[in-house]
Chains A and B, each alone.
Chain A
């Protein structure tokens, strides 16, 4: 059995290394995301019912329903959300990912990415910016107005820009940013800069007013995390082909919905293994403490699942100014992740690790054997809807997710007569 697992994990790891995530355009959730309709709201993390959702996720859903015109205010939105008329589902079940609450509704514009190695697609909404935003559960008029501007100006300008620019190779771009001080999850300054550099020559050639072009450039420039909504679907489309490799113990999904943390394992198909999401430990903005924090939320942990984010923390030492600790701690975190992964990235080489590839391919057996849980670098949302980000820090998945997955893996192997 051990030999079968090793071969299956090598297959899973190799598929991930072959991935070629590429931006192929801008679409809308309704037109492009499989299984989407006007009464469906997608969210981050494993599936969850309305009654169990946390503050930020509920707030984001309220905002999404108002944006879609399905409710005129908070009270109507709450009633509709609880009525059973709205279908809630994981972004992950629809080839999509979303940061923080990850709420994706019918009219929202989305990045369209294709993994050119296997042809599979991935989608993600465009990043709204910092402060009071939908993904942190805010739903004020300002939030809705910004979403409408993104739909009516930002997305059409970027769509026309991409039509002129052609497909953009994100694997090469991410390989560059991890050598420029980014790690692709909680630090995306370099990625946002490279993206603007790539798009600008074509953006200025589009048939929009100078004001619109200027506003789009300023919008991207003002948000250091604009690139996060590209690293996420890049990792998603790279990992999705790993679903269902028989006998593989490699993790191909990690995600949180603000209540539960969930993982999916290659050899166990699309089954989720969930446990209560933990509270993040880190640095809080003035006036906020750990008491204000919501449990871990968002699909952005797909970056760690792919070997970047917290796994590449050594390459982004400046991040410790936001999450706490020292550059030596960042180095130590990356070093420890080599203990629980199957291999080292062939694309993402980390200069502080002497250009070793980032530790990639979480193996549930190694996590349990070493008791080292994956390290995640993330933002912290206020537990109440509408407040926004209150800090940034480090968190790990609950060990129970890996234990339950290991037990299921053994039961599955026994049922197939392999042990």
Chain B
């Protein structure tokens, strides 16, 4: 637990991926936060993921 306790004792710098509501909440509490416009690769389209995988040598 000690490393985690140490973490929460420091000033947090947060990177938020996904739901912007979390970013807004942290910002309103003056926490240093960056919003990343993350989305799942190929929008989660399995056919496209499979095609991309073939070109990248993944099964």
Contacts and interface: CB of A to CB of B under 8 A. Distances in A.
A164 interface: no
Interface string B18-59: 000000000000000000000101110100100110111100
Contact of B55 (A370, A371, A409): A409
A2 B48 contact: no
Contact of A368 (B42, B54, B56): B42
B57 A1 contact: yes
Contacts of A86: none
Contacts of A369: 41-42, 52
Contacts of B57: 1-2, 419
Contacts of A371: 39, 42-43
Nearest to A410: B51
Contacts of A414: 54
Given A368-B48, A403-B48, A410 B55 contact: yes
B48 A410 contact: no
A413 B54 CA distance: 10
Contacts of B39: 370-371
Given A368-B48, A403-B48, A406-B48, A419 B54 contact: yes
Given A370-B39, A371-B42, A365 B52 contact: yes
A5 interface: yes
Residue from the set B41, B45, B55, B56 with the largest chain A CB neighbour count within 10 Å = B55
Nearest to A419: B54
A407 interface: yes
At the interface, is chain A mostly helix, strand, loop or mixed?
helix
A50 B45 CA distance: 35
A368 B48 CA distance: 7
B56 A2 contact: yes
A365 B55 contact: yes
A241 to B, nearest CB: 24
Contacts of A410: 51, 54-55
A246 to B, nearest CB: 14
Given A1-B57, A2-B57, A406 B51 contact: yes
Given A369-B42, A371-B42, A1 B48 contact: no
B52 A2 contact: no
B45 to A, nearest CB: 8
A407 B47 CA distance: 9
Contacts of A2: 55-57
A369 B42 CA distance: 4
Nearest to A406: B51
A407 B55 contact: no
A370 B43 CA distance: 8
A413 B55 CA distance: 9
Contacts of A407: 51
A1 B52 contact: no
Nearest to B44: A371
Interface in A394-419: 403, 406-407, 409-410, 413-414, 419
Nearest to A249: B55
B55 A368 contact: no
B56 to A, nearest CB: 5
A368 B41 CA distance: 8
A406 B43 contact: no
Nearest 3 A/B pairs, CB to CB? A371-B43, A410-B51, A2-B56
Interface of B: 39, 41-43, 45, 48, 51-52, 54-57
13 contacts: A2-B56, A2-B57, A5-B55, A369-B41, A369-B52, A371-B43, A403-B45, A406-B48, A409-B55, A410-B54, A413-B54, A414-B54, A419-B55
Given A2-B55, A371-B43, A407-B51, 7 more contacts: A1-B56, A2-B56, A368-B42, A370-B41, A371-B39, A413-B54, A419-B54
